[in-house]
Amino acid sequence: MKEKSINLPKSLTTDLKHTLYQASVQDPTEHLDLFEHIYRTEFKSDARILREDFCGTFLISTEWVRRSSENSAICIDISAEPLEYGKTHNLGSLSESQRSRLTILKQNVLQGIKAKSDIVSVCNFSFYAFKQRKQLLEYFQRAYQGLKKNGVFV
């Protein structure tokens, strides 16, 4: 993994935790290289639609739409704070065309959505939030229902 350089705020702010999280925990390039490898190995084609559940600042999805003009992403998180951080700090790095291929939904992942994806991802063990086996099973079922016929859940 490459060393990252980050610009830290001069004072502690709400943004600091998201800045540090993105710099220390997330590596969109590594994540997406793995997702693409898994998909290509299984289906011998390229994935085009990524759904990032518990997306937080949706940094992974930002990189996904940047990778190809054919890629689109659906970002789902129930928490407004990280979504706002992503809108303020991550959307600006995208072109208008790239932003148009990024859908951000502030909702519970258990609600499900109609759109089907090639890849449904949940990173950093975010599903730990489900304390009851029934809820976890419901989430896995929703994730499965959100996949295209040729889809992977990672």
* Domain at 131, CATH number: 3.40.50.150
- Structural domain including 35 reads 25-147
Considering the entire predicted model, what is its pTM?
Answer: 0.88
Report the mean per-residue pLDDT for the chain. Answer: 92
- Average pLDDT on 92-113 reads 96
Residue 8 lies in a domain: no
pLDDT class for 124, splitting at 50, 70, 90?
confident
Residue 38 lies in a domain: yes
Rounded-to-integer distance, Cα 114 and Cα 142, Å = 10
Residue 17 lies in a domain: no
Q: What pLDDT sits at residue 126?
A: 82
Residue 4 lies in a domain: no
Residue 78 lies in a domain: yes
Residue 94 lies in a domain: yes
Residue 2 lies in a domain: no
Q: Could you give the number of structural domains in the chain?
A: 1
Secondary structure percentages of the chain, helix, strand, coil, to 5? 50, 20, 35
Residue 67 lies in a domain: yes
